[in-house]
Structure 1
């Protein structure tokens, strides 16, 4: 017996076929799987643009050519203050929304055919958390269209303090905040682990020669992203254990804390190069990744 989602998809497909037969305009619209593939590739490109921007700005910060290092939200806010900033925000927000849609297709409807085994479900759960993270980033990007603060970095830290204070005011709030920090540490460790154990070329439709130089980019990118989460997660855990909301900071401020350590600028420069590698790999995924939109919207297949 077909699932309700499958039945709904069949009805929508029949409606689309009928519309194409009766309307010259609709006949020009590509099939749904083509549109979904295009949206996924645009999404990977948007992710690449964000991390490439983070890497370049962090590298400039390490060289003391600009003020502070930034995370993804900081890089987007920085672009918002540039000429044509609102246009960039609109395009980037739409691209990130497309990436969230693709992540949901991967996580819920198994677009990558990971299956329902232990490893497959772990991968799909990771893709689901990724959808949540990029969903918040897309929401923040659209929010900047309404109001762009004059000092985005300070505003980001203030919001972090307020959110931490709200959590600490809840019953067992200090444990909840420490748990959130452990989750951030877990994300960092998962990225580090993924950087050396995963075959990043298995989803790419590129030549063996191209894949040989693509894989190191992916490993460097995931390693840098994972290491960047560790200081932020540590600060959040300490804020929960002490407890002190003022110790919760932003992604960019955590990178600044790394820069203040011995050999910090060099470490920050290496992290920046890793972010640039991750952004570059995302652009490569936008071009070469195998995109297979699910034909059957059934979460259990």
Structure 2
């Protein structure tokens, strides 16, 4: 009879550097984390390439991370790929929970470490919503007539949520605060692109390190840049007390494209998204992952 531990170890061996013997739970957690990074990589690499093509003309409109599911559904074996993508994204959410709650990255207990774990928690929330949207696309596959129809539905949902916020006491101020948070996330990504030591979390060959670092910096800069117009639209909606100003990431990028020089800015953003996706694949292969033997917050 085949030893399950040996089988799992054989499957994981191409995906990680050699390490000490792990428990079965640790191996499964590591496999899930690497699968999650690969799923994130696929989302951003696809969105980046499609946005780059949109800027250059062959396709219509910018693509956000949430648009990948609708595009994938139209491809051969689309439902199967969508299901794998959704599972991978939920695996990444699980890894974010381990990072934020159980501190598997051994972040320091000072403000920097707390901020890092808070960012991981917010990232987990974002990818949880993204994973849910992937399975929502699967459930509504027969009803989705086109990507533009799905985009309109997405924007309508965002505007409905904004309207609910506006109906609360101090609603406009709350909506402006939400926009400021989105702007803060964008600025944080830009700062991280400039200052972060991305190689400290990797165990990659020396020849690969410069490329990995370039992909990370370009990718985080593009992500940060994409959040800025989105946050601006939300703040504008709060200032005008009008939910009609709210859009999604792709809508914000489309508005950017309409500005002078916007096509080049959109192309740069698409290339940056693709770089971020490529870096996620680098992380799937070479990130240092230390699954805990016991889960204790």
Task: Give 1:13-162 correspondences, 5 Å limit.
Answer: 30=8, 31-148=24-141, 149-150=144-145, 151-162=149-160
CA contact (8 A) 2:37 2:281 kept: yes
Displacement of 1:43? 0.3
CA contact (8 A) 2:25 2:293 kept: no
Q: How many residues align?
A: 277
Q: Which residue of the other structure, out of 211, 221, 238, is the alignment partner of 1:213?
A: 211
CA contact (8 A) 1:45 1:283 kept: yes
CA contact (8 A) 2:166 2:238 kept: yes
Instruction: Give 1:17's aligned residue.
Output: none
- Whether 1:297 and 2:274 are equivalent positions in the alignment is no
CA contact (8 A) 1:48 1:281 kept: yes
CA contact (8 A) 2:179 2:235 kept: yes
- Whether 1:163 and 2:161 are equivalent positions in the alignment is yes
Displacement of 1:209? 2.0
Displacement of 1:296? 3.4
Shift in CA distance, 127/27, structure 1 to aligned 2, threshold 3 Å: closer
Q: Which runs of 4+ in 1 moved over 3 A?
A: 23-30
Q: Matches of 2:294 and 2:114 in 1, distance apart?
A: 18
Displacement of 1:122? 1.2
Instruction: Give 2:176's aligned residue.
Output: 178
Task: Choose 1 or 2 for highest CA Rg.
Answer: 1
Q: Matches of 2:132 and 2:85 in 1, distance apart?
A: 11
Q: Matches of 1:112 and 1:207 in 2, distance apart?
A: 21
Give the RMSD, CA atoms, in angstroms.
1.6
Instruction: Give 1:256's aligned residue.
Output: 254
Q: Residues 250-285 of structure 1: CA distance to partner in whole angstroms, max 9, x if unpaired?
A: 110100011001011111101111011100000000
Give TM-score, length-normalised by structure 1: 0.88
Shift in CA distance, 26/267, structure 1 to aligned 2, threshold 3 Å: closer
Shift in CA distance, 289/25, structure 1 to aligned 2, threshold 3 Å: closer
| 5+ residue gaps, structure 2 | 9-23
Q: Matches of 2:132 and 2:3 in 1, distance apart?
A: 32
Shift in CA distance, 27/50, structure 1 to aligned 2, threshold 3 Å: closer
Displacement of 1:32? 0.5
